[in-house]
Structure 1
């Protein structure tokens, strides 16, 4: 598993590299301080997971915009979050793991492995802080969250990821082409996607499907 490390200081960067160097199955392919060059590093080194420590909101947004062109890239974030707001925002950005900066080696390694497997990891401390923010969320905010795909829609999205067209999907699932078209339209609507490629990319990034 290829991991790129990025931290806010040289001391933290060195510590994270040393920590991961002893973990079985993990290879640190590069590291950096600050977010200025991380996009070029990701493009050059092709990591499976990027471990980022305390980035700014602007920097993280830039990384996620870049990573949208690499749907298999997972991002794990090390950041302290006393009120849960950073955790909530990071999840909206697309971060797959959120851990405190003082997490133990085993916790960080486990989070990286989970992210590489397409899972989402939230540390118990972050979960408590996140839940504490729930009462303050306006009800209207929930209407902005994406609706969940049905099992059939996930199945069709997976076949779309294989490059199958509507007729091929209909034949594979023994359903009508009209039904497939209906499900595809629903997938586009729920994922806010305009094309099949965009829908598949979003599905991969969110761990809905795997290829």
Structure 2
């Protein structure tokens, strides 16, 4: 059997931290660190603590500190109802998100996905993200302003599967920088406000199977 996934839990609230830790342990994960802040987690990592993925409750945390830290493991972000304005932005940036009240099974599945380089979220947050992006960019989606190149079409197909830039790069045997560039081009050509919005518009325009 493969070794259990090694997870770190970061949450300002001791109750949230303990609850997430217990849920992950019940799901068969090895919780190797539990911290109140990213700084505490960085210290734990400096002690050669093995961490495959971080489950991070964003409430009360400085997310810029997390995003700016090189070498962070993949993360599952747990968001609250007050974080609605940021959900679309984080999904557009390829983050894995779940509501703070997500059941243990969803947190476990999201942690596995994040560790594998995939982007995962709940139906609730995806619907919320699409609603926000559609409100911020009203109008019907038609054909892109410029045709997508063959490579951009390939990237779009990967994007529709919820893959982040790194996973897209690995799937298409290109660099992460190149994958990021193609994603930006797709969003611009489709006149979309985020990755999720680009996929939604591509589906409606018939650029993806199921559109």
The normalised TM-score by structure 2 is 0.60
Matches within 5 A, 1:5-24: 5-24=9-28
Partner of 1:80 in structure 2?
80
Number of equivalences: 158
In the alignment, the residues of structure 1 paired with residue 182 and residue 10 of structure 2 have an alpha-carbon distance, to the nearest angstrom, of 33
Q: Which of 51, 61, 67 pairs up with 2:64?
A: 61
Partner of 2:107 in structure 1?
108
Q: CA RMSD in A?
A: 3.5
The normalised TM-score by structure 1 is 0.60
CA contact (8 A) 1:9 1:34 kept: no
Unaligned runs of 5+ in 1: 162-183, 193-211
Q: Which of 158, 163, 166 pairs up with 2:173?
A: 158
Matches within 5 A, 1:132-211: 132-138=131-137, 149=152, 151=154, 154=169, 158=173, 189-190=181-182
CA contact (8 A) 2:7 2:32 kept: yes
Who wins on radius of gyration, i.e. which is larger?
1
In the alignment, the residues of structure 1 paired with residue 35 and residue 171 of structure 2 have an alpha-carbon distance, to the nearest angstrom, of 40
Pick which of 48-57 and 118-127 moved more: 48-57
